[in-house]
């Protein structure tokens, strides 16, 4: 059987944070085995924002190194923070509970190696991710008005930046209130051709009395109307707010319906961002099909 877990990330409470699927059943299969079509079908069946899959890193015999991929219900993505946290949480909780290993290394297709380590004995984990690179960008008034209309934004816009590394448009608002409501037709916005391929999501952010910053994130380009808590978005948010507030350690809160807290730290010298948070296992289940059959089957199109 193929085992699937669901985990709520960036929270210590069930049904808060961001849910992710985690499939560990292929961790003994070489990453050179192309299972992308199968993984996509499983992620579509799971129908949550991202499902993570680990396979065996090439030539690695270690229990601390894996190859990691993430799929939304519609496509594979280059990086997913909350599903990485969820994967590390499951490995530590279910497979390495009696091991002295306190750091995991995940090889990836597009973003190099990602490290996740234990912060303490209370379950808090730290993600070591590439630093985002948000830069100011000018958009014409027509596009800005279209963004405001499709998100029902009535607040003032303080700044707009583009993070090409994470393919996210960052918009700094005077506040983030309940009036903001995303529409699926965000994907119809006709961004200039020079930046169109670099926009797969929109971050809205503002300051806060309780946190250093708050945010919301919308990614219908990846089949996700609104993501509850987004680790990859915080690699850009950390850089942006660190420069504004002249701080390297910041507390962020993603103000979705589920909500989630992320402690962020910028290591500008090494071009890294550290994201710290908790995760909680919600559910464990099994696909009613044998793994050996899936590995033998070459065509998953039917």
The span from the CA of 274 to the CA of 265, in Å, is: 5
Q: Which residue has the tokens 């037709």?
A: 185
The structure tokens listed for 88 are: 């590390």
The answer to whether 21 and 70 are in contact (CB under 8 A) is no
Distance CA 203, CA 233 (A): 7
Q: Which of 225, 232, 75 is nearest to 150 (CA)?
A: 225
Any idea which residues carry the catalytic annotation?
Answer: 50
Q: Which of 235, 178, 157 is nearest to 201 (CA)?
A: 235
Q: What is the largest CA-CA distance in the chain?
A: 58
Q: How far is it, in rounded angstroms, from Cα 122 to Cα 141?
A: 49
Residue identified by tokens 């303490």 is: 120
């Amino acid at each position: 059987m193929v085992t699937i877990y669901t985990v709520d990330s960036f929270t210590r409470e069930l049904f808060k944070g961001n849910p992710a699927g985690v499939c560990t059943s292929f961790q003994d299969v070489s990453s050179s085995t192309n299972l992308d079509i199968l993984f996509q079908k499983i992620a579509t069946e799971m129908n949550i924002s991202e499902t993570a899959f680990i396979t065996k890193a090439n030539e690695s015999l270690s229990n601390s190194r894996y190859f990691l991929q993430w799929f939304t219900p519609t496509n594979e993505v280059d990086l997913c923070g909350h599903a990485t946290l969820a994967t590390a949480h499951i490995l530590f909780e279910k497979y390495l509970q009696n091991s002295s290993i306190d750091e995991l290394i995940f090889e990836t297709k597009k973003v190099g190696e990602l490290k996740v380590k234990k912060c303490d004995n209370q379950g808090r984990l730290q993600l070591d991710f590439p630093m985002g690179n948000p830069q100011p960008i000018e958009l014409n008034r027509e596009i800005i008005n279209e963004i405001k209309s499709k998100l029902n934004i009535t607040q003032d816009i303080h700044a707009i930046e583009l993070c090409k590394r994470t393919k996210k448009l960052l918009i700094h608002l005077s506040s983030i209130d309940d009036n903001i409501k995303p529409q699926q037709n965000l994907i119809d916005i006709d961004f200039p051709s020079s930046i169109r391929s670099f926009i797969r999501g929109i971050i809205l952010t503002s300051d806060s009395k309780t946190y250093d910053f708050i945010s919301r994130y919308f990614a219908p380009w990846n089949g996700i109307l609104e993501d509850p808590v987004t680790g990859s978005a915080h690699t850009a948010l950390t850089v942006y707010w660190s420069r504004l507030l002249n701080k390297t350690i910041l507390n962020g809160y993603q103000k979705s319906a589920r909500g989630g807290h992320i402690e962020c730290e910028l290591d500008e010298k090494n071009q890294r961002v550290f994201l710290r948070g908790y995760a909680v296992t919600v559910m464990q289940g099994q696909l009613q099909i044998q793994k050996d059959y899936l590995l033998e089957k070459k065509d998953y199109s039917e």
